[in-house]
Amino acid sequence: MPVGYILTGPDTLGWGHGVLVLLLAGLPKTSKQAMHLMRAEAPGPSISKLVPRLSTSAMILYGLYLFLSVLEFCFLFFGGMPLSDALVHTFDTAGTGGFSLYADSIPHSNSVYFEAVITVFMFLFGVNFNLYFFLVIREFTPVVRGSEFRACLGIAAGSILLVALNILPLYRGLSQAFCHASFQVVSVMTTTGYATADFGLWPTFSRMILFFLMVVVAMAGSTGGSVKVVRILVVFKALKLNIQKLAHPQKVEALTLGICRC
């Protein structure tokens, strides 16, 4: 009997935002095309809805997107950033666009506070928005035990630590190296494109880490681009099952993601 592969788990439910979700929200309630379109464009290995009605699911995701955007704007504007700057940086952090009103981008403000705020929100917008929905309804288990989220968080933390230690001789102290490493790592892994340092001048080891992050670190259901972490997890889990099959040809085991098993 061949090994069975079943993709399950709450961290495989995400899909992109933007025009697609807006279109889905506007389709008639009885339209059969909505789910077909969503399945065709979904970034994860499987797709589902947060609530029974697809349009309601879309509105929930847009509400979460708007809430995070307003929250970031408040941190920037009331922290002293001019209104136009706060709006532009909020929109481009939320959409992971990386545009700025100034040629030198974020360093123009010369503020560690603004850099820290933008770093945090770049990461938040790179997280699967379905996890925020679970937080709203107080379902913490999918968030805490979600395999994609844990992998993304672990890769980010490990990359920041390694890069900070590697570039330490280039900066005045660990705190400055950590700030630059955090901003660049999160910006690259979410495909935002902001920068506070010319990492082209960094050691080869740090540049290789950033190159790797450009390719694979973004969660399905976020505004980030690149190959999603969930796909990398599926590949490794499938390889593991195939290796196990060599030793136990009759073994049947489900490939799972997150906390669900079928």
Indicate if the pLDDT at residue 122 is higher than 60: yes
Q: Where is pLDDT greater, at 203 or 241?
A: 203
User: Average pLDDT in the 252-259 region?
Assistant: 63
pLDDT digits (tens, 9 = 90+) for 63-85: 888 898 999 999 999 998 999 99
The total number of structural domains that make up the chain: 1
pLDDT at 178: 93
Q: Do residues 129 and 222 make contact, with C-beta atoms less than 8 angstroms apart?
A: yes
Give pTM, 2 decimals. 0.72
pLDDT at 73: 94
Burial class (CB in 10 A: 0-12, 13-18, 19+), 208: exposed
Within-domain flag for 258: no
pLDDT at 118: 93
Within-domain flag for 119: yes
Within-domain flag for 253: no
Within-domain flag for 256: no
Q: Where is pLDDT greater, at 99 or 258?
A: 99
pLDDT at 221: 62
What range does the domain containing 107 cover?
Answer: 10-247
Within-domain flag for 47: yes
User: Average pLDDT in the 2-31 region?
Assistant: 45
Within-domain flag for 61: yes
Token pair of 190 as six digits: 């979410």
Residue whose structure tokens are 């339209």: 31
Token pair of 173 as six digits: 């102290």
What separation in angstroms does the CA of 185 have from each of 105, 110, 123, 136, 227? 16, 19, 10, 28, 16
Within-domain flag for 226: yes
pLDDT digits (tens, 9 = 90+) for 208-250: 999 888 877 677 666 666 677 777 777 777 787 778 777 777 7
Candidate ranges 52-56, 124-128, 145-149, 164-168; pick with highest mean pLDDT:
164-168
Comparing 11-15, 141-145, 163-167, the range with the smallest average pLDDT is 11-15
Within-domain flag for 262: no
